Amino acid sequence: MSKGSFIFARYQSSKLGTVHPVRIQPETLTLVIAGLSNPQPAAVNSRLEFKAGRGRGKLGLYTRMVYFRFLPGQAPPGYSPETTHELPWLSSTNSFRRLLRRSTGTYLGQGIIFAGTLEEIVS
């Protein structure tokens, strides 16, 4: 989505019940939807790495994703206001299931509207 550096974060698998390293951009941690933040879970307890992003055509581990659009006039520089953006939801599958379409929130300090989810894939 953005053009910055990447960090290794922690991702809690709902299917495997373990915490894995995942490569994300640091601003992923600023996502808030309907008052629910996107915090990292506890310490990593698996060496398997999850992948975050669109390409799900290969065998592997893929994070659950959330989709959103910026509210009118809220898109930061470099982001299209008409595009639906996606980010991994790092922890708490309970909060992931509580997200309701058309809920509002913030990303990079700007207003967003939540558009939907994609479940975790382990293949």
How is residue 6 written in tokens?
Answer: 């990447």
Nearest to 61 by CA among 52, 73, 74, 69: 52
Measure CA 82 to chain center.
19
Residue type, 5: S
Q: Cβ atoms within 10 A of the Cβ of 118, count?
A: 16
CA angle, residues 51, 54, 56, in degrees to nearest 5: 70
Burial of 64 (0-12, 13-18, 19+ CB in 10 A): buried
Q: What does the alpha-carbon distance between residue 101 and residue 91 come to, in Å, rounded to a whole number?
A: 19
pLDDT digits (tens, 9 = 90+) for 25-62: 999 999 999 999 988 888 999 988 888 876 777 778 89
| Confidence bin at 103 (pLDDT 50/70/90) | very high
This prediction's pTM: 0.89
pLDDT more than 70, % of the chain: 97
Any idea what DSSP says for residue 4?
S
Q: What does the alpha-carbon distance between residue 5 and residue 118 come to, in Å, rounded to a whole number?
A: 24
